[in-house]
Amino acid sequence: MTRPPSTKALKEQSASGLAYSLSAYGLWGILPGYFILLQPTGPFEIVAWRVVLSVAFCAILISVVRGWRRTGTLLRDRRVMAWLALAAAFIGVNWTVFVYATATDQVVEASLGYFINPIITILLGVIFLRERMRPLQWTAVGIAFIAVLVLAIGHGTFPWVALALAFSFGFYGLVKNRTGGRVDAVSGLAIETAYLTPIAVLVLIGVALSWQPVDTHGAGITLGAFGVWHTIALSLAGVITTVPLLLFAAGVRRLPLSYVGLTQFLAPVLQFLTGVILLGEPMPLERWIGFGIVWVALIVLVIDMVRAIVRNRRAADVPELT
C-alpha cells in the first residue's frame, strides 16, 4: 500500500509547479523581443524555421528519452492524428499572426489577444463542450465584448490581430482538450510541426527563390547572411518554441488548472510592457479605455477563479458522511 504524499511533499510539488508555469508564461511573454532580435528576417521565414527546427529538436528529445514507441502508438491512432492535424492548423495560424504582429509594430494588439484569450476559451467551452458558465464568467464575457467594440470604433481599426490570436489559441486549446492525456507534450508538438513541415519547406523555397542582395533587406534566406549572432539566434527557434511548452506541461502536472489559469496573465502583461515601454507603440486615450475595460473583465474573471478555488478547497475539507 502506497502512502499518500506528505504535506511537505505537496508544498514542494506546488512550488515547483508554480515555478514551471511562471517560467513558461514568462518566456512566452518575452517572445516579441526575441523575434525583434531576428530582424531583418521576415515573419514567414521565422515561422518556417520555427516549424522545421522544432521538428528536429523534438526528434532529438524523443530519442533522448526513448519515446519513439509512444510516438509510434500515436501515429497509428487515426483519431488522435486527425485531432493533431487540426491542432497544427490552429497553432500554425497563431504563430504566423503573432510573428507578423511583432514584425509590424503591433505587439500591444498581440498582448490584447492573450489578455482576452481566457475569456474566449471559456466561451468556446460553453459552445463546444456544453460547459456551464457562472454568472461572473458571463459578466466578464459581456465586458470583454464591449471592450472590443470600443477598440474597433474608438481606435478606428478592427482588432483582427488580437481576435485572430485569441481564437486560434483558444481553438488550439479546445482541440488539445479532446486528445486528453493520450498525447504527451513532446510527441504532440513533434507531430503537429511535422504536419506543418511541408508548408514550411515550401515557404523557405519561395523565400530563397526571391533572393535579392542582402543589403536591400528585401528577400532571400537570411540564415547565415547576417553574422554569427543572428545565425545562432535564428537557429534557436526550435528550442525557443519547445522549451516553454515543456515547462508548461511540467507545471500543469504539478498544479491545479485553476492555479495555472491565474499565472497565464504574466505573458500578455510582459508583451504589453514590451510594446508600450520598449517599442514605444502609440497608446491614444481610446486605446487605454479599451484596454482598461478588458482589464476590468479580467479582474471579474480572476475574482470568479479565486472564489471557485476557495469553494473547492472548502468542499474538499468537508468529511464524507458514512
Residue 322 has pLDDT above 60, yes or no: no
Choose between 153 and 139: higher pLDDT. 139
Query: For residue 166, which amino acid is it?
Result: A
Nearest to 167 by CA among 121, 107, 226, 217: 121
* Res 3: pLDDT: 53
122-126, 221-225, 258-262, 282-286: which has the minimum mean pLDDT? Answer: 258-262
* Res 9: pLDDT: 57
5-14, 63-72, 263-272: which has the minimum mean pLDDT? Answer: 5-14
Alpha helices in the chain (DSSP H): 7-29, 31-37, 43-64, 68-75, 78-103, 107-129, 135-154, 160-179, 185-209, 228-235, 237-254, 257-263, 266-273, 285-317
* Res 216: pLDDT: 42
Choose between 16 and 44: higher pLDDT. 44
d(CA 291, CA 294): 5
- Write out pLDDT tens, residues 232-265: 999 999 999 999 988 887 777 777 655 776 788 8
* Res 318: pLDDT: 52
Do residues 221 and 42 make contact, with C-beta atoms less than 8 angstroms apart?
no
Task: Provide the pLDDT confidence category of residue 211 given band limits of 50, 70 and 90.
Answer: low
* Res 30: pLDDT: 93
Residue 317 has pLDDT above 90, yes or no: no
- Write out pLDDT tens, residues 48-78: 999 999 999 999 999 998 989 999 999 999 9
Average pLDDT, the chain: 85
* Res 321: pLDDT: 46
* Res 61: pLDDT: 93
Handedness of CA 53, 121, 248, 290 (dihedral sign): positive
φ/ψ (deg, to 5) at 130 = 55, 35
33-47, 85-99, 115-129: which has the minimum mean pLDDT? Answer: 115-129
Share of the chain above pLDDT 70, in %: 88
Task: Provide the pLDDT confidence category of residue 157 given band limits of 50, 70 and 90.
Answer: confident
The pTM of this model reads 0.87
Residue 215 has pLDDT above 50, yes or no: no
